[in-house]
Amino acid sequence: MNPIRFGLPVAAALTAALLSGAASAQVSDDVVKIGVLTDMNGPASAPTGQGSVTAAQMAIDDFGGKVLGKPISIVVGDHQLKADIGASLARRWYDVEQVDLIVDVPVSAVGLAVQNIANEKKRLFITHSTGTADFHGKFCSPYAIQWVFDTRALAVGTADAVVKRGGDSWFFITDDYAFGHSLERDASTVINANGGKVLGSVKPPLATPDLSSFVLQAQASKAKIIGIAAGPPNNMNEIKTGSEFGVFKGGQQMAALLALITDIHGLGLQAAQGLLLTTSFYWDMDDKTREWSKRYFAKMNKMPSMWQAGVYSSVMHYLNAIKDAGTDDPLKVAAKMREKPIEDFFARNGRLRDDNLMVHDLWLVQVKTPEESKYPWDYYKILTTISGDKAFGPPDQACALVKK
């Protein structure tokens, strides 16, 4: 027998075995584990919560349940909107349960706490419902990615588009804490730069039970636009009170600097009609958004918020990056995620910048009247597209990842 001919298949088999071993070694612990850290029962649970868990699982299932030949699993945690609980769960997940990626994490205080743990443990974290621009600014990190929105994009996008459509006088009802102040500041800068005027503001504390006096002051200002620089629960209560006081019927409009489709659903069109807001996603925008959202609806019996849709988008992009990188090494995967444009049912003209902010187009929409709505969840009229560069602006030079 010819020894050379005998050796070739043996060598090939050995090479294949070695390559197979090398490939399997590229997935830590032989499993890719994704943790959905969210608010399961509190005030943020409608736009996040079980819907975010479902969106993540849909992405895993659509990907095929495996990557690089290894299974993809999911764990779920409820941080109850408390930073200490969120940080504790993240630490345990990264240390003990070997979670590779944490997603979702509503409210900025919890998001920033989890970001600190991700930095310390050198594991990936993608937030969808943490809005502070500091996340990709002075606190930016190679391990932490912001996918759906930030406060600047919503405030600036709404103010810029509304002023250009003739809404050039504003009065703000602003939550009296850092989140509300930043929304008012960012929006006011754009309003003034475009030749508009801010006539004043009032600042109710968080969770004020009776907002009547604040809405009446805004109404009395005669401003064309009443800007709602607030989050739950004040923002929805202000819109509801404004409707009861005839703000829209009197010729003024309300512009919410943060509002989600689940908020509109809770309010009802009778109360929310005429409201202006900016969103990263609307389920009924085109065939791609409708196809995915109807599959989601079949599981959840409601349409997705922009945060929930963003969870699917980012998990799918993350898994594809693992496949392309041939490893689940966090920094190599993040680098792959930055290489390719992000164009899916969620994102238009999307890209992940060096500061780990996913920049993409947003839409200024107006809530329909009950008469205009033709079927369930038919809530928005799209008024204009806001480019990602316009909405998010340039990278913050305070971020150490930004090339100076």
pLDDT, tens digit, for every residue of 356-391? 999 999 999 999 999 999 999 999 999 999 999 999
What is the pairing mode between strands 70-78 and 66-67?
antiparallel
Q: Do domains 32-149+285-360 and 152-279 have the same CATH topology?
A: yes
Residue predicted with more confidence, 212 or 206 = 212
Residue predicted with more confidence, 63 or 10 = 63
Quote the mean pLDDT of the chain: 93
Is CATH 3.40.50.2300 what the domain over 32-149+285-360 is classified as, yes or no?
yes
Over 70: is that where the pLDDT of 86 sits?
yes
Confidence of residue 11 (pLDDT cuts 50, 70, 90): very low
Confidence of residue 179 (pLDDT cuts 50, 70, 90): confident
C-alpha–C-alpha distance, residues 165 and 194, integer Å: 11
Residue-range domain boundaries for the chain? 32-149+285-360, 152-279
| Minimum mean pLDDT range among 6-15, 186-195, 317-326, 348-357 | 6-15
C-alpha–C-alpha distance, residues 58 and 9, integer Å: 42
pLDDT at 177: 86
Q: Which residues share a beta bridge with 35?
A: 75, 102
Longest dimension (CA), the chain: 100
> What is the model's pTM?
0.91
C-alpha–C-alpha distance, residues 149 and 398, integer Å: 19
Q: For domain 152-279, which CATH number applies: 3.40.50.1380, 3.30.360.10, 3.40.50.2300, 3.40.50.10470?
A: 3.40.50.2300
Average pLDDT over every residue of 350-359: 98
Q: Which two tokens stand for residue 202?
A: 């009032």
Confidence of residue 8 (pLDDT cuts 50, 70, 90): very low
Residues 6+ apart with CB under 8 A from 330: 100, 122, 123, 124, 143
What is the pairing mode between strands 358-359 and 351-352?
antiparallel
| Minimum mean pLDDT range among 150-164, 331-345, 370-384 | 150-164
Which is nearest to 55 in space by CA: 403, 258, 253, 346? 346
Handedness of CA 130, 132, 133, 134 (dihedral sign): negative
Residues 6+ apart with CB under 8 A from 351: 338, 341, 342, 358, 359, 360, 388
pLDDT at 232: 81
Confidence of residue 203 (pLDDT cuts 50, 70, 90): very high
Q: What is the amino acid identity at position 219?
A: Q
C-alpha–C-alpha distance, residues 15 and 19, integer Å: 6
Query: Do 84 and 90 touch, CB atoms closer than 8 A?
Result: no
